[in-house]
Structure 1
Amino acid sequence: MTTEARRKWSTFAWTALTYILVFLLVFPVLWMALTGFKTEIAAINIPPILFFQPTLDQFLLAIQGGFGAYLFNSVAAALVSTAIALVLGIPAAYAMVFHMSTKSSNDMLFFVLSTRFMPFAAILVPLYVIVTRLNLLDNLFVLIVIYTAMNLPLIIWMARSYFLELPKEVLEGAWLDGCTTFQTIVRIVVPMAAPGLTAAALLAIIFAWNDFFFAVTLTYTNSPTLPIMVAAFTSNEGLFLARVSALATLIILVPVAIGIYAQR
Structure 2
Amino acid sequence: MSTANPATSAGPTFRKPPRSGLLLTGVAWIVGILFVLPVLWMALTSFHSEPDAATNPPSIAAPLTFDGYKAFFDSGPWPSILNSVTASLLSTVLVILLAFPAAYALSIKPVRKWTDVLFFFLSTKMLPVVAGLLPIYLFAQSVHFLDNIWLLIILYTSMNLPIAVWMLRSFLAEVPVEILEAASVDGAGLARTLRSVVAPVVTPGIASAALICFIFSWNELLFARVLTGTVAQTAPVFLTGFVTSQGLFLAKVCAASLVVSLPVLIAGFAAQDKLVQGLSLGAVK
**Alpha-carbon distance between aligned partners in 2 of 1:27 and 1:17, rounded to the nearest angstrom:** 15
**Alpha-carbon distance between aligned partners in 2 of 1:6 and 1:208, rounded to the nearest angstrom:** 42
Q: Deviations over 1:95-129 (max 9, x none)?
A: 1223325x722221111111111110111111111
For residue 244 of structure 1, what is the aligned residue in structure 2?
Answer: 253
Higher Cα radius of gyration: 2
Distance 1:93 1:6, change over 3 A: closer
For residue 231 of structure 2, what is the aligned residue in structure 1?
Answer: 222
Whether 2:42 is the aligned partner of 1:32: answer yes
SS at match of 1:45: coil
For residue 136 of structure 1, what is the aligned residue in structure 2?
Answer: 145
Q: Tell me by how many angstroms 1:5 deviates.
A: 10
Aligned residues: 259
Q: Tell me by how many angstroms 1:239 deviates.
A: 0.9
Distance 1:170 1:213, change over 3 A: same
Whether 2:174 is the aligned partner of 1:165: answer yes
Question: 1:107-256 to 2 correspondence within 5 Å?
Answer: 107-256=116-265
**Alpha-carbon distance between aligned partners in 1 of 2:239 and 2:198, rounded to the nearest angstrom:** 41
Structure 2's unaligned 5+ residue stretches are 1-14, 274-285
Counterpart of 2:31 (choices 21, 24, 28) is 21
**Alpha-carbon distance between aligned partners in 2 of 1:47 and 1:110, rounded to the nearest angstrom:** 50
Structure 1's unaligned 5+ residue stretches are none
**Alpha-carbon distance between aligned partners in 1 of 2:93 and 2:21, rounded to the nearest angstrom:** 44
For residue 64 of structure 1, what is the aligned residue in structure 2?
Answer: 74
CA RMSD of aligned residues (A): 1.8
**Alpha-carbon distance between aligned partners in 1 of 2:25 and 2:126, rounded to the nearest angstrom:** 36
TM (norm. structure 1) is 0.93
Q: Tell me by how many angstroms 1:258 deviates.
A: 2.5
Counterpart of 2:115 (choices 100, 106, 115) is 106
Q: Deviations over 1:169-206 (max 9, x none)?
A: 11112122221111111111111111110110000000
**Sequence identity of aligned pairs in percent?**
39
Q: Deviations over 1:7-52 (max 9, x none)?
A: 43x4443333223222221111111111111111111112211112
Say which structure is richer in helix.
1
